[in-house]
Structure formats: C-alpha cells, structure tokens
Amino acid sequence: MSQKTAKLEVAESQQEDPRSPELQPVQNPNVERRESKRIPFYRGEFPEAKIEFAGRTYDAEVYDLSTNGIGILPKQAIPGLDTISQKFFVTVAGTSPREATLRNISHIKFAGSFRLKLGVRTADLASPKVCEESLLPCTENMPLAYCDDPIAFSRTLLFNVSHFSKNGLVLRTKNLHGVFFSGLKMDLKLMMPARGEFEAVAEVAAIREDGDVVLLYCTWSHCPNDLKNSVSEFLLMTVQGMSIQRLRDYGFLVADLEKAFLFKSAQTPEEFESILKLRLKAAKVEGRWLDTEDFTLMRDPWDRHSRQVYCEVNGRIVSAARVVFNNGLPERSEHVSYGVEIPEWLWKEGFVEGSRVCTDPDFRGTDVFFKMLQQLSHIVTQSGHRFAVMNCVDGLVPVYKKMLGVEALDQRFHTRFMQEDALNLLYIDFRALQVGVNRKVQTWAVNAPIGDHVIEQGQLKLFWWEKLIRAAFRPLHGVVSMIVVRRRYKKATEAIETKD
C-alpha cells in the first residue's frame, strides 16, 4: 500500500477479521468517547510514539490525534495491556511521558495484516500546571503570538494571548489551525504592545475547547526577563484596577514599567482635584495630616502660578508635581515665602521652581518618581529656562543629586504642608544636565533622552564645543541604561524568589 493511500483511518482499514472473534472492537460504555475533533495522519506523517507499561517501553505509531486523546498502533504486542481503563504512560513527538487511560481496543487491517489499535485518553500535565486562579485576563488589545508548527512541515500557527500568569499564558486559536496536545513545546514569538517582539518557549499543560476555539494553557519552559517585565507592563496598562502590588502578589516580575506611564498637564478642575487627593494620600502614608480627610487643605496660593503635571496609569493618577513660574518676582516665589534667600545670580539668570512631588503608595519603589523628575526637566527647558529651584527632605537629597545632579544651597526650612519635616533648598542647571558639561557622567547619561528631544525640537541650542562633548558621551546612555535595567530585574527577581 502506498503512503498516499495508507491513511490509517480509511474505511477499508477499519474492517474486522470475521475469522477471529477476539479481534472485534471492545468499547467500555462507561468510558467517555473522545468528543474532540480527531485529526488523522498518514503513515510517517506524525513522529513516532512510545508506550511505557509494566516497566517496559514499546514503539508505536500515531494514527489520529485530538485535544484529549490519541489513537495508537503499537508495533509489537504489549502483554497485559488488554483491559479498558488501564493506566500507562505515552510519549509523543519527544514530549515528556504523560499518563493515559485505555478507552477502547480493536484491530485494523493495514498493509495486508491486522494490527492492534488503541484509543487512549490523555491527562493534562500534572506538573507544572498553570494556576488558573492566578490568571490575569488580557481585556483589550490581546497580544499576538506565532510559531512554526512543531509537527507539520512549513506551517505557521497564529494565536491571541487571552491570559497571563506568573509562570505561563493561555493561547487562543481556531481548532483547525494545528495539532495540539499536552506536553507539546512551541518556540513562540510574542508581539507585546509598546515593546515589540520577544522569543520564548512554552509547553502545553492543558487544553480546553469552546466550540471551534481552542484554549492552550501553557507554562514557560524559557521566558526572558524582558518578556516577563513586558507582560507586567501590559497588564498594568490594560487591566482595569490593576496595581503594582497586585502584580507582585500574583508573582509577576515588576521592574521597568516606563511604557505604562502617561504624563499629562492638568487642564480641568477634576484633574486638579485628583492631584489634591493624591497629595493628601501620600502625606498620610508619611504620617502627616492624619486627622483630616479634607483634600482641599492640600491647596496653596502657588498652585495658581504653576503648571500641574501628573502621571496616569490606566486612568489612575499615580504621581504628581508642579512647576511654579515666578516671572522673576520675589512676591510670586514659593520659596521666598518660606523665608529662604535665593542667590542673586539665580535672580539674574532667571529660574522656575519645582515642588509638591508626590507618589501613590502603591507605585513607590518603581521608576515613576524618576520619570516625573525627567518630565520636570523637560518642562523647564520648554519654558525657556535653564535653572530650577527645588526642595526635598533630608533622605532624598542623595537621590536628587544622583538622578538630576542638583546642588544644595545650604538652607533648610519648614512649610505648612510638610508640618514637622524640614526641607532642603536645592537648585539644578538643566542645560548642563542635558548637554553633558557638569562632569557627572552617570547623571547625564541617564537623562540623555531629554536632551535629544529638546534639541530635536529646537528648544535647546548648542555651542560647537557642547556638540563635541555630547557626541563623546552620548554612547554611554545605552550602557548606563542597560546596567540600571539589569539591576532592577535582579532586584525584582530576588523579591519573587524571597516571596516563594
């Protein structure tokens, strides 16, 4: 019989031998038949299978496959495997052995002789499984995934990702698109919004069917940290009510979430009201204003002369700050009102003032604080200023120096809003930061993208010698950024391992 006519499930091959009563099909009425669509194979089309029973291993061929079962033709007799509901292990296409239950026994005529035919139901992988209670849905903009079919030659499988978990994902596809079974490993390429394409290896742990749709519950065999972080970022951007703490509670890697942050300037009373509420919420976490719920107390006269900036994540304001424009007038200066002295040279140069930086407690420990400081840097340059006067508590002075290269003006003061906490007076030269002439290589390298933007927009003009300095140091940005991100990944991974 030629290969083209040797399809193992054709009518002729299903004939029973009338001379051998023991070869008649056996079907236990109490064993559920495979309800899933069966995909038949030609001889040699599907990789060979192995049966493990009673301590021995037997070679076999696969003649059909469904999402919950396999039709197998053993190549030799299997002593003792003759009773419905017997358990054994089967390996197909190089997967790990998985438990199978014998559901029917019959014989088929093939190549002039009768061969044993076994119908088995396969079990989901016992370990590791995708924890269904930890699955988080992709409610919109489902990521795309694709891979080369591990079984068929020259065929591409397409998927949508419907859910993610800390150790896997759920792939959604049409059941006519491929041959799927538990234990199957796929070299996936995932297209993550805002981040691009990633490569990973996923193993099918369980399969569920819903009409003509197949859901593949997969665990990661290999998943790079860049992809894990991109998954967290995507869920934060798209799942309503998602928070960083919830992602951490579910065991997701939370490191670099830059693409999830949307920065805006407040334009409406409702936006400004949300900023006031955030100020009060952040203050309470730090032990201030514990005896009130009146967020209007967070307002002060300098709000009228400022640009209110906030960071939004999936519709939720998570960080805010302001830039006060004093127009060179001491009476409109926020910091002058606190009794500090601004150096005369700053008045001559002109400056704006940054203050009231606050972050939602759920988002502390992320890079939203640093990104907010970058936004302030951008706004200062956009407004045509070079210098800004800022303030912070004692514990944040080293952070501001490292991130923005600030200089202390050696003055401390108190405000009504900060109550008993003293603030330090600082200033920053944003031109030196963006051009790279302040001799603080790491600080400039991290903030280089801000300089790129304002230069491209024509908002920052460079002298010829500044262009040389910038050209010399610009390549450092990629190196420093990579080091910073790797440190975040390491810290986030250690947090997950400590929790587990």
CATH 1.10.150.130 fits 261-494, yes or no: no
pLDDT (0 to 100) of residue 111: 66
Where b means 16+ CB within 10 Å and e means fewer, 355-366 reads bbbbbbebbebb
Residue-level pLDDT at 71 = 86
For the stretch 219-265, pLDDT in tens is 999 999 999 999 999 999 888 888 888 888 888 988 888 899 999 99
Confidence of residue 281 (pLDDT cuts 50, 70, 90): very high
Burial (CB count within 10 angstroms: exposed 0-12, middle 13-18, buried 19+), residue 474 = middle
Position 425 scores a pLDDT of 96
Average pLDDT over residues 136-142: 78
Find the mean pLDDT for residues 21-35: 43
Tell me the torsion sign for CA atoms 163, 164, 168, 171.
Answer: positive
Segment 76-99 mean pLDDT: 86
What one-character-per-residue DSSP string does 237-290 give? HHSTT--HHHHHHTT---S--GGG-EEEE--SHHHHHHHHHHHHHHHHHTT-ST
Q: Do 356 and 321 contact (CB within 8 A), yes or no? A: yes
CB 118 within 8 A of CB 31: no
What amino acid is encoded at 54 in this protein? A
**What is the pLDDT, as a whole number, of residue 343?**
95
Rounded Cα gap, residues 189 and 263, in angstroms: 31
The residue count for the chain: 500
DSSP 143: P
Domain boundaries, the chain: 3-122, 132-246, 261-494
Three-state secondary-structure class, residue 174? strand
**Predicted structure pTM score:** 0.76
Phi, psi (deg, nearest 5) at residue 164? -125, 150
Question: Which pLDDT does position 26 carry in this prediction?
Answer: 40
CB crowding 284-303: b at 16 or more within 10 Å, else e: eeeeebeeeeebeebebebb
Q: Which CATH architecture has domain 3-122?
A: Beta Barrel (2.40)
E strand or H helix at 214, and its extent?
Answer: strand 213-222
Q: Could you tell me the sign of the dihedral formed by the alpha carbons of 288, 292, 293, 295, in that order? A: negative
Q: Which of 225-239, 440-454, 470-484 has the lowest mean pLDDT?
A: 440-454
Spatial neighbors of 451 by CB under 8 A, at least 6 apart, are: 433, 434, 435, 436, 460, 470
pLDDT in tens, 143-197: 999 999 888 788 899 999 999 988 899 999 986 656 788 888 999 999 998 899 9
Predicted confidence band of residue 93 (pLDDT cuts 50, 70, 90): confident
| Whole-number Å distance between alpha carbons of 438 and 454 | 18
Which of 428, 424, 387, 390 lies closest to 406 in space, CA to CA?
Answer: 428
At residue 237, what is the residue type?
M
Average pLDDT score over residue span 277-283: 96
**DSSP 3-state assignment of 190?**
strand
Q: Quick one: CATH architecture of 132-246?
A: Beta Barrel (2.40)
Confidence check: pLDDT of 448 > 50: yes
| Mean pLDDT, residues 258-276 | 94
322-326, 382-386, 459-463 — which one is most confidently predicted on average?
Answer: 322-326
Whether the upstream peptide bond of residue 128 has omega within 30° of 0, thus cis, is: yes
Instruction: Give the model's confidence band at 480: pLDDT under 50 very low, under 70 low, under 90 confident, else very high.
Output: low
Q: What is the pLDDT of residues 159-174, one digit of tens each?
A: 999 999 888 999 999 8
Amino acid at 201: V
Intrachain domains 132-246 and 261-494 with the same fold: no
Nearest to 357 by CA among 411, 426, 405, 408: 426
Q: Is the confidence at residue 32, as pLDDT, over 70?
A: no
For the segment 323-328, the average pLDDT, to the nearest whole number, is: 95
Sign of CA dihedral 195, 199, 203, 206: positive
More confident position, 422 or 382: 422
**Angle 387-388-394 from CA coordinates, rounded to 5°:** 130
More confident residue, 468 or 4: 468
Contact between residue 42 and residue 153 where contact means Cβ atoms under 8 Å apart: no
Q: What pLDDT does residue 4 have?
A: 35
Alpha-carbon span 420 to 393, nearest angstrom = 11
Q: Is the pLDDT higher at 5 or at 236?
A: 236
Q: Which of 76, 84, 158, 108 is nearest to 7 (CA)?
A: 108
For the ranges 206-215, 227-236, 374-383, the one whose mean pLDDT is highest: 227-236
Average pLDDT over residues 65-79: 84
State mean pLDDT over 375-384.
Answer: 87
Q: Residue 107: beta bridge partners?
A: 116
